[in-house]
C-alpha cells in the first residue's frame, strides 16, 4: 500500500461534506416530478417534519412530566401501585387518552385519582379538558404519529397472539358478583337465592342470620361480625352465601363481593406479580360486605396474613364479613391462631344434617322448579317419600335424584314409578355414616357425667375429682375423633401432647382392670354417638 493512499484514507472528512451528503440523501428528487428546486424542497421537508413530529414529541414529553408530577404528589409507593403501568395512547382533540393493563386499575383511578390526573395534564397542556382511561387488552390502540415508525412485535409478525399476563387475565373476568365492583368476584348461580332456599330445623338460625345481613343498609350498625357458617358438604352453605350476595346487590347502595378462598388467593398472588398489591388491598377494604366461601382451602402463610389484615380492617371499619367453611373455626388447624381467634369472636352457626322432613320439602321444591320448564313432569308422593327416606347424605344428592328421574321421563317417555326410582337412585343410597363426634360434645357430656364444669376440665386444677374426668375426656377425644394429640392438648387448656398421651395410656390401662370404669366409658360413647 502506497503512502499516498494511506494518507488519503486516514484524512478526516470535513463535517460540512458529510452533512451535505446526508442532506442530499434525505432530500427527494423533486426535479423528476417537476417539483420545486432543492432549496425550496428543504423548506417543504422542514414543514412536513414539524407537522408530523412536533405534536407527538410534545405530547410524550407532557406525559412524562405528568408522571413526574404524580410521583411527587402521591408518593413513590402509591405511584408504583397505580401509575407505573399507565401508558399514553394518544391525543383526541381536547381529550388525553391513557391506558392501563387491568380493569381493576382503570376503575380505581377513575374513582379516586381522575381529577388529580386531569389537573396535572392541564398544567402541562392547557388545551386538555378531559382524561379518558381505557384497558389495553380491551381496546384497539391508535398510536400517536411519530417521526419514527414503531416496530412490529415479534409475536405479531409470527402470526401469534401476544401472551396475556396475570393482570390481563384477571381483567378478562366479568365482575359477576357485583355490578359495581372492579375486583371481579366468583361466579354466582342464578338459582341460589333466598326464595329457593328451603328452611328447616337444622338451618333456621343460619338462614335468619344470613337474611339479617342481606337486608341491612349502608351505615347501619353491624350485628353479627363476622358471621361464620359451617357444615358438611351439600347442606346449603354456598346457597346462603350467594343468596346474601344477590340480595345485597339489588339495592345498589352497598358493595357486596362474593369470593371463594381459591379466588382470593389467586387475586392476591396476581396482585403481587403485577406489583398492584397495595391497590388490591385498598379495593378489598373498600367493600361493604365481603363474602368468603370454602375458607378451609385458604393456604399460604402470606395469603393468610393478608386475609387476617383484611378481616381486621373490615371489622374495625364496621364492614360486614360473612364466611363459610366445612368445620368450626377452632377446627381449622391450617389457619393461623390469630385468624381462628378473630373468626371465633363473631357469630358461629352450624348447619346440621338434613332431617327427613326437610329432605322431602327440598324434593318438592326441586320438582316444582323442574315442572316450570317441563309441565308434564310429575313425581308421585310415595316416590318422593322413598327418596327422602333413602337419600340422606346431602342436598346435592337429592337434586341429582330429581335430575335422573326427569331425564328418564323425558328421554324414554315413561312415567315416574317406584320401580324406576329404585333403579335410578340406588347408587345415591349410601350406608348410614356414624355421627361426627366433636371435642366440645365430649367435654360437655363428660362434665355432666362426673358433676364438674367444662371450665374445670380446661383448668390447671389437679384434684382427684377433676383429673380423672379430664383423662377420660382426653381418652374419648383420641378414640372417637381424628384429632391429633397436639390439637387435643390445645383444646384442653393448651396442654402439651405428652400430657394427652399419658392420659390416654392411663385410661387404657385402667379399663382392663376396672369394670365399673369400662361401663362408664361405654355409656359415654353411646351418648356421644346417638
Please name which of 96, 90, 97 lies closest in space to residue 144, comparing C-alpha atoms: 90
User: What does the pLDDT read at residue 66?
Assistant: 84
Backbone angles phi, psi at 289, to 5 degrees: -135, 115
The Cα–Cα gap between 346 and 107 comes to: 32
Strands 95-100 and 87-92: antiparallel
Show pLDDT as tens, one digit a residue, over the chain (530 residues).
444 444 444 444 444 444 444 444 444 444 444 444 444 544 444 444 444 444 444 767 777 888 888 888 877 767 776 787 788 877 777 888 888 877 667 777 877 788 888 888 888 888 888 888 888 743 334 333 343 433 434 433 343 333 333 333 233 333 333 333 345 667 788 888 888 898 888 888 999 999 888 888 877 777 788 899 998 888 888 999 999 888 877 765 778 888 888 888 888 887 777 777 777 777 777 788 889 888 888 877 777 888 888 888 888 888 888 999 988 887 777 777 788 888 888 889 988 888 888 888 888 888 888 888 888 888 888 988 888 888 887 888 888 888 888 888 888 888 888 888 888 888 787 655 556 788 888 998 898 888 888 888 888 888 888 899 999 999 999 988 888 898 999 889 889 999 999 999 998 888 888 888 888 888 888 888 76
Q: Are residues 220 and 301 in the same domain?
A: yes
- CATH code: domain of residue 473: 1.10.1750.10
| Domain assignment present for 159 | no
Where among 317, 350, 383 does a domain terminate?
350
| Residue 507 shares a structural domain with residue 474 | yes
Q: Contact 238/326 with Cβ under 8 angstroms?
A: no
Residues 408 and 470 grouped into a single domain: no
What is the structure's pLDDT at 170?
Answer: 33
Residues 300 and 390 in one domain: no
In a domain? residue 5 = no
Coil, helix or strand for 63? helix
**pLDDT value, residue 251:** 64
Judge whether 471 and 503 are in contact, CB under 8 Å.
yes
Tally of domains in the chain? 4
pLDDT at position 12 is 46
What residues make up the domain containing 394? 356-428
Cα(489)–Cα(501) distance, integer angstroms:
9
> Please, what is the Cα angle at 297 between 292 and 298, to 5 degrees?
70
> How much is the pLDDT for 182?
41
Taking the C-alpha atoms of residue 224 and residue 349, their distance in angstroms, rounded to an integer, is 11
Domain limit, last residue, from 138, 155, 173 = 138
pLDDT of 502: 92
CATH code, domain carrying 85: 3.30.300.180
Please check whether residue 58 lies inside any domain of the structure. Answer: yes
- The answer to whether residues 340 and 461 belong to one domain is no
User: Per the domain annotation, does 17 fall within a domain?
Assistant: no
Scanning 114-226, the segments in alpha helix (DSSP H) are 114-124, 154-157, 166-171, 204-215
Sign of CA dihedral 384, 387, 389, 394: negative
Per DSSP, helices labelled H in 83-130 are: 103-112, 114-124
User: Is there a contact between 145 and 52 (Cβ–Cβ < 8 Å)?
Assistant: yes
Tally of CB atoms within 10 A around 276: 27
CATH of residue 418's domain is 1.10.8.60
Residues 292, 374, single domain; the answer is no
Cβ count near 249 (within 10 Å): 23
> In sequence order, which ranges of 290-415 are alpha helices (DSSP H)?
301-316, 337-344, 356-373, 381-390, 395-412
CA 473 to chain centre: 39
419 assigned to some structural domain: yes
- Indicate if 227 and 312 belong to the same structural domain: yes
Residues 6+ apart with CB under 8 A from 39: none
Q: Are 147 and 53 in contact (CB under 8 A)?
A: yes
Q: Is 180 a member of any domain?
A: no
Q: Which of 83, 105, 138 is the last residue of a domain?
A: 138
CA distance 387 to 383: 6
Q: What is the pLDDT of residue 400?
A: 87
Question: Do 217 and 315 lie in a common domain?
Answer: yes
Report whether 91 contacts 144 (CB < 8 A): yes
Q: Are residues 498 and 409 in the same domain?
A: no
Nearest CA to 206 out of 348, 366, 365, 327 is that of: 348
In a domain, 382, yes or no: yes
Judgement on whether residues 304 and 335 belong to the same structural domain of the protein: yes
Same domain for 218 and 117, yes or no, is no
Q: Judge contact between 296 and 339, C-beta under 8 A.
A: no
CA distance 170 to 31: 58
Instruction: Compute CA distances 75 → 67, 70, 263, 406, whole Å.
Output: 11, 8, 30, 62
Give me the pLDDT at residue 152, please: 39
**Statement to judge: residues 276 and 402 lie in one domain:** no
Q: Would you state the pLDDT for residue 493?
A: 87
Q: Does residue 262 fall inside a structural domain?
A: yes
Amino acid at each position: 500500500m502506497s503512502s499516498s493512499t494511506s494518507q488519503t484514507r486516514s484524512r478526516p472528512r470535513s463535517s460540512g461534506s458529510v452533512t451535505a451528503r446526508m442532506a442530499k440523501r434525505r432530500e427527494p428528487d423533486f426535479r423528476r416530478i417537476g417539483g420545486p428546486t432543492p432549496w425550496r424542497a428543504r423548506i417543504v421537508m422542514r414543514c412536513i417534519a414539524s407537522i408530523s413530529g412536533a405534536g407527538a414529541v410534545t405530547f410524550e414529553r407532557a406525559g412524562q412530566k405528568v408522571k413526574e408530577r404524580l410521583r411527587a404528589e402521591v408518593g413513590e409507593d402509591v405511584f408504583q401501585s397505580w401509575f407505573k403501568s399507565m401508558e399514553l395512547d394518544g391525543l383526541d382533540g381536547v381529550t388525553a387518552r391513557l391506558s392501563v393493563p387491568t380493569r381493576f386499575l382503570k376503575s380505581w383511578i377513575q374513582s379516586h385519582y381522575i381529577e388529580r390526573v386531569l389537573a396535572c395534564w392541564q398544567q402541562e397542556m392547557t388545551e386538555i379538558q378531559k382524561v379518558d382511561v381505557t384497558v389495553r387488552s380491551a381496546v384497539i390502540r391508535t398510536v400517536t404519529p411519530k417521526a419514527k415508525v414503531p416496530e412490529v412485535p415479534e409475536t405479531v409478525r409470527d402470526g401469534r397472539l401476544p401472551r396475556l399476563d396475570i393482570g390481563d387475565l384477571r381483567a378478562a373476568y366479568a365482575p359477576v358478583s357485583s355490578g359495581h365492583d372492579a375486583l371481579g368476584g366468583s361466579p354466582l348461580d342464578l338459582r341460589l337465592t333466598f326464595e329457593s332456599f328451603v328452611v328447616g330445623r337444622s338451618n333456621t338460625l343460619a338462614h335468619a342470620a344470613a337474611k339479617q345481613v342481606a337486608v341491612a343498609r349502608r351505615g347501619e350498625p353491624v350485628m353479627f361480625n363476622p358471621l361464620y357458617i359451617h357444615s358438611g358438604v351439600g347442606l346449603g352453605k354456598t346457597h346462603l352465601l350467594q343468596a346474601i350476595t344477590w340480595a345485597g346487590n339489588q339495592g345498589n347502595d352497598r358493595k357486596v363481593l362474593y369470593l371463594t378462598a381459591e379466588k382470593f388467593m389467586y387475586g392476591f398472588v396476581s396482585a403481587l406479580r403485577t406489583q398492584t398489591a397495595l391497590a388490591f388491598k385498598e379495593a378489598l377494604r373498600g367493600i361493604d360486605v365481603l363474602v368468603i366461601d370454602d375458607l378451609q382451602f385458604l393456604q399460604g402463610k402470606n395469603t393468610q396474613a393478608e386475609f387476617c389484615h383484611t378481616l381486621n380492617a373490615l371489622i374495625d371499619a364496621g364492614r360486614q364479613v360473612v364466611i363459610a367453611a366445612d368445620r368450626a373455626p377452632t377446627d381449622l388447624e391450617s389457619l393461623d391462631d390469630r385468624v381462628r381467634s378473630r373468626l371465633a369472636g363473631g357469630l358461629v352457626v352450624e348447619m346440621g344434617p338434613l332431617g327427613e322432613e326437610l329432605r322431602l320439602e327440598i324434593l318438592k321444591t326441586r320438582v316444582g322448579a323442574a315442572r316450570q320448564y317441563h309441565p308434564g313432569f310429575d313425581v308421585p308422593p310415595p316416590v318422593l317419600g322413598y327418596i327422602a327416606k333413602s337419600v340422606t347424605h346431602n342436598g346435592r344428592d337429592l337434586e341429582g335424584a330429581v335430575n335422573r328421574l326427569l331425564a328418564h321421563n323425558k328421554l324414554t317417555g315413561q312415567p315416574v314409578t317406584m320401580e324406576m326410582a329404585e333403579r335410578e337412585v340406588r347408587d345415591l343410597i349410601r350406608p348410614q355414616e356414624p355421627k361426627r363426634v366433636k371435642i366440645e360434645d365430649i367435654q360437655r357430656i363428660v362434665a355432666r357425667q362426673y358433676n364438674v364444669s367444662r371450665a374445670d376440665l380446661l383448668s390447671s386444677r389437679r384434684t382427684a375429682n377433676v383429673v380423672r374426668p379430664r383423662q377420660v375426656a382426653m381418652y374419648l377425644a383420641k378414640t372417637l375423633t381424628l384429632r391429633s394429640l397436639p390439637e387435643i392438648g390445645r383444646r384442653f387448656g393448651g396442654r402439651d401432647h405428652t400430657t394427652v398421651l399419658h392420659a390416654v395410656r392411663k385410661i387404657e390401662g385402667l379399663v382392663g382392670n376396672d369394670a365399673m370404669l369400662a361401663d362408664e366409658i361405654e355409656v359415654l360413647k353411646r351418648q356421644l354417638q346417638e
